[in-house]
Structure 1
Amino acid sequence: MTAAPGSGPPVASGSGPLEAVLFDMDGTLFDSEPLWDVSLADLAEMLGGTLSSETRRRVIGGNLRDTTRIIHEDLGVEADVEESAAWLLERTRQLFALGVPWRPAAQAVVESVRRQGIATALVTSSHRALVTEVLAQLEPGLFDVVVCGDEVSRPKPDPEAYLTAAERLGVDPRNCVALEDSGRGIAAALAAGCVVVAVPEDGAALGDGHGAVVVPLEAVTVDRLMSLLADRVRPRLTL
């Protein structure tokens, strides 16, 4: 069921009810990107270099191993990718343990979905060690299913993580809406067949949304998600 990243979801002749909302973690629900800024800069310094702004942009939404590989290439260093990835994971875990704040309006969105009795999943490229630190800071039971980056064989932009979440929830991914903030994540959710809502802090940074409907996070409501799924039309930019 794997589709080419960015090719868009299968077009259904009709749509069912909204069965689940699937949430990305970093940068979508939680303001964790500043913490990644610190750990990535620390990794570059540990390797004897300085992280460029372009490389930082390139690794947004990426998995740990690819992120480390890109940083090695950018710095021109020959180092063990697995060792650097383990170092980065532990440094980031330490920062996450100090507290990861919600993005404005994000908690209200998740809680409103829960109040409607709609299933929820957290679908992230982050490793379980990091997700555990975040979940420990939350009210239990906000997410029915959690799929982490080290629990799938093909990370985003492959749809495996989203397909896995839908399968565990027992729902059709075409009856799900995914909230994402990065090009990789949007491509993964679209390829899985979800309706995708992009909620980046800077909507202009995504251009035309990469095939997602761009909506400010504070404007996301359950009714709006239901309407997008019911319409099942070619995605369009929403300001």
Structure 2
Amino acid sequence: MNDTGIDAVLFDMDGTLFDSERIWDVSLAELAHELGGELSPTARQLLVGSNLLRTVRIVQDDLGTDEDDQRLATWLLDRTCALFAAGVPWRPGARSLVESVRARGIPTALVTTSYRALVDVTLAQIPAGMFEFSVCGDEVEHPKPHPEPYLTAAAALGVDPGHGIAIEDSLNGITSAVRAGCLTVAVPEEPGTLSGSHGAVVLALEEVTVDRLAGLLTGRRHDEPEGVWR
């Protein structure tokens, strides 16, 4: 038990806790080069929070190619794993947020579209025990934006999703968490990258504290949200 009223905090990985989208920029650009083209900025934005097979299909649609999706997905996964192994940096304020959540006795889980291979490479670089459970994109039948990943994490922790908080950065992730019933806080890397809130509270990552999260959850329960919903 803890004194916050928060049963669990469920964190997305790429772009939320870790500055890994920059790494994906490299592997995706290399994939596009292998296919003889260059990924458009519009397509790159669509890939944020996307699962692996959908990612390679978007890349191919953008470039007008029609290679084997599974082969390209394997290539992209292997290349990105190699890049992750060189070091995946935390986003500013992310590690201290996770540590403060843990210090207050709140269970945590990692809920990501990335495959287990990438998650294991990332988890090997941080202290053990920061997350009690992790759900990966290749471990669910329906990845984000379906609610299954967040429902799976909540069930594993033994909590009601409505008593938990999801921290996300992408539209696919926000949609998944909101559909699961979580109070969802969006922390996009760049202001204005989300067009509307899509049911989430939008904050800068540096603004997120345990007490603020507790206030938001209490406010929702009383239908009087604390802070600005936008």
Coarse TM-score class (shorter-chain normalised): over 0.9
Give 3-state SS (helix, strand or coil) of 2:151's partner: helix
Q: Of residues 21, 24, 36 in structure 1, which corresponds to 2:24? A: 36
Q: Is the 8 A contact 2:200 2:229 kept in 1?
A: no
Residue of structure 2 in register with 1:6 after alignment: none
Residue of structure 2 in register with 1:76 after alignment: 64
For residues 159-238 of structure 1, the aligned pairs below 5 Å read 159-232=147-220, 233=223, 237=228
Aligned length: 224
1:203 to partner: Cα distance: 2.7
Q: Deviations over 1:25-64 (max 9, x none)?
A: 0000000000000000000111111111111011110000
1:207 to partner: Cα distance: 3.0
Q: Is the 8 A contact 1:209 1:237 kept in 2?
A: no
1:107 to partner: Cα distance: 0.2
Q: TM-score, normalising length from structure 2?
A: 0.94
RMSD value, Cα: 1.5
Cα distance in 2 between the residues matched to 1:73 and 1:216: 33
Residue of structure 1 in register with 2:44 after alignment: 56
Cα distance in 1 between the residues matched to 2:229 and 2:147: 24
Q: Is the 8 A contact 1:154 1:160 kept in 2?
A: yes
Give 3-state SS (helix, strand or coil) of 1:207's partner: coil
Give 3-state SS (helix, strand or coil) of 2:218's partner: helix
Cα distance in 2 between the residues matched to 1:18 and 1:115: 13
Cα distance in 2 between the residues matched to 1:86 and 1:28: 24
For structure 2, which runs of at least 5 residues remain unmatched after alignment? none
Q: Determine whether 1:141 maps to 2:129.
A: yes
Residue of structure 2 in register with 1:103 after alignment: 91
Q: Determine whether 1:18 maps to 2:19.
A: no
Cα distance in 1 between the residues matched to 2:49 and 2:30: 18
Indicate how the Cα distance of structure 1 residues 80 and 153 shifts in structure 2: closer, same or farther if over 3 A, else same.
Answer: same
Cα distance in 2 between the residues matched to 1:168 and 1:69: 31
Cα distance in 1 between the residues matched to 2:40 and 2:195: 22
Q: TM-score, normalising length from structure 1?
A: 0.91
Cα distance in 1 between the residues matched to 2:105 and 2:71: 43
| Identical-pair percentage | 58
- Quick one: which amino acid aligns to residue 18 of structure 1? I
Residue of structure 1 in register with 2:15 after alignment: 27
Q: Which has the higher contact order (CA 8 A, sep 6+)?
A: 1
Give 3-state SS (helix, strand or coil) of 1:211's partner: coil
Q: Is the 8 A contact 1:41 1:51 kept in 2?
A: yes
Give 3-state SS (helix, strand or coil) of 1:205's partner: coil
- Quick one: which amino acid aligns to residue 179 of structure 2? A
Give 3-state SS (helix, strand or coil) of 2:192's partner: helix
